[in-house]
Structure 1
Amino acid sequence: MPFTQVEHVQDEFMRQSRSRVFFGAALLATIAGYVNVVMLSFFAVPVSHMSGAVSHLGINLAAVELADVMLAAAIVAGFFLGALLSGLVLRDTQFKMKRRYGFLLILESGLLTLTMFLALRGANATVPLAAMACGLQNAMASSYRGLTLRTTHVTGIVTDLGALLGNRIRGRQISSWKFGLLFSVLVAFFLGGLAGAMVLVFLQMWALSLVALLCLILGLLVLMVSS
C-alpha cells in the first residue's frame, strides 16, 4: 500500500477513534508520571525510564560503590523483565485493543500493590518491582499508527514533537492528530508527576494504592469490552 494511502487510512481511523486513543495514552502516561515521582521522592532513583539508572550504574561502578551498583542493575533488570513479560503476553508491538491488555493492567496493579507493601516494610526489592511495572506498561503500546509511543517517559515524545514540527515548518504535510497525541502524553506525564508529589505529602507510600486501584479498574474494564 502506498505511503500516502497508509496515511489516509490512519487519519480516517483517528477521526473515528481519537478520543478513546488520546484518553488511553494520556491515562497510562499519568500513571507512569505519578509512580516515577513517588519512587523518585523516596529512593532518589527513577523507575519509569532507564537513562538515569544506566548513568547511575556507570557512576557507581567508577566509584566502586557495590550496593548502589546492585540497585541500579536491579532497576534495569526489573524494567527489562517487565517489558519481556509484556512481549510474551501480547506477542505484538503494534497496539490493538484486546483482552491481553486487561490482564497486563491487572498484573501492573498487582506489581504496584506489592511495591507499596514492600516499601512500607523497607524491603530491598521495592524499586526493581516498580521498574518492572513501568517496563510492563511501556511495552504495551510501543508503536501506534506509525508513531513510536512510550507512556513511561517523555524523551522520545519531546524528540518526535520537535522533529514533526521541523517537518511541518519545512512544508511537509503532518497529520494534526500526531501532534495532539504526543502532546497529550507529554502533558499527562507531567500532571501525573505533579499529582504524585501532592498526594505523597498526605499518604506517603500509600500513595501507590491509588494508581494500583486505577490499573485494576482499567484492566477489568478492558477485559469486559474487548474480544
Structure 2
Amino acid sequence: MLVAPSRSPGSDAVLATILAAIAGAANAGGFFALGQYTSHMTGYLAALADNIAIANLWIAVISALAVSAFVAGAGFSAILINWARGYAVRQQYALPMVVQGALLACFSMGGLLTGEVGRIFSLACLCFIMGMQNATITKISGARIRTTHATGMLTDIGIEMGRAAYGRLRPGCGVACDRHKMRILLQLVGAFLLGGIFGAIGFGLVGFLFSIPLAAALIALGLPDLLKLSAIPRWS
C-alpha cells in the first residue's frame, strides 16, 4: 500500500513519516561519521560561494561535490520512476526505495575506507541518497511533501500559525489554519527530529554500521512489490 502507484493522502503521509525519520537518522549519523549534515544543500551552496571567494578551492570542490551528488540523486530517482512507468507501473515507487536501501547499505561500508578518499565517497553517497529520497517522495506526493527539506516544512508551519493568528484577530475574514496540513507538517518535523536523535545515538555507538537497519527499512518498503516485477526491460 505504501509504495503502490494508486495513492491516497493517508498512504502518502505514512510513507513520508517513515522516510523523514530515516532521513533524520541518516543526516545526524552523517554528521557524527563525516562532520557534515548531508541534507542541508543551502549550507553547501553557501560554503561553495564563501570558499570560492576566499580561494579555499579544496573546500569549494567538496561543497560542489555534495551539491552535485544531491542533484544527481534526485535526477536518478526521476529516471527510475519514469522508466518504471513505462515498463513496470506497479513498481514505479518500489524500485527507487530498494535502490536507496542498497546505496545506504553501501554507505555502511564507508567506514572500511580510510582517509580523505573514504570520507569523500561516504559524503557523496549519502548526499546522493538524500537527493533520491527527496525526489522520490516529491514525485509520489505530487510535490506536496519533501522529507529532507526541514527549512521548507518549518516555513509552512510558520505560515499556518500566522493564518491561525490572523483568523482569530479578524473572525469571519475567511483566513484560517489548514489543520490537516499543519498536522502532517508537525508529524514530519517530529519524525525527522526523532530519527535524528536515534541516528546520533546509533552512529555514536556503532558508527557506519548503524545505517544497515536504515537500509533494511527502505528495502523492506519496496522489495515485496519489486519481487512481483514481471515486465522485462526493453531499452529503445
Shared topology, TM-score over 0.5? yes
1:23 aligns with 2:14: yes
Contact 2:107–2:208 (8 Å) recurs in 1 = no
Structure 1 gap segments, 5+ residues each: 1-13
How big is the shift at 1:113? 1.4
CA distance in structure 2 between the aligned counterparts of 1:108 and 1:200, rounded to whole angstroms? 19
Equivalent runs, 1:1-227 vs 2, <5 Å: 18=10, 20-91=11-82, 98-122=90-114, 123=118, 124-142=120-138, 148-171=144-167, 172-223=175-226
CA distance in structure 2 between the aligned counterparts of 1:218 and 1:144, rounded to whole angstroms? 14
Contact 1:83–1:139 (8 Å) recurs in 2 = yes
| Paired positions, count | 208
Please report the TM-score for the alignment, with normalisation by the length of structure 1.
Answer: 0.82
Q: Which position in structure 2 is the counterpart of 1:5?
A: none
In the TM superposition, what whole-angstrom CA distance separates every residue of 1:164-211 from its partner, at most 9, and x where no partner exists? 222233332444221111110000000010000111122111111111
Runs of 4 or more above 4 Å deviation: 143-147, 224-227
Identity of counterpart residues, as a percentage?
27
CA distance in structure 2 between the aligned counterparts of 1:51 and 1:64, rounded to whole angstroms? 20
Please report the TM-score for the alignment, with normalisation by the length of structure 2.
Answer: 0.79
Relative distance call for 1:119 and 1:62 in structure 2 (3 A) is farther
How big is the shift at 1:141? 2.2
**RMSD over aligned Cα atoms:** 2.6
How big is the shift at 1:105? 0.7
Structure 2 gap segments, 5+ residues each: 1-6, 84-88, 168-174, 231-236
Worse-matched range after superposition: 50-59 or 142-151: 142-151
Contact 2:17–2:188 (8 Å) recurs in 1 = yes
Contact 2:93–2:140 (8 Å) recurs in 1 = no
How big is the shift at 1:118? 2.8
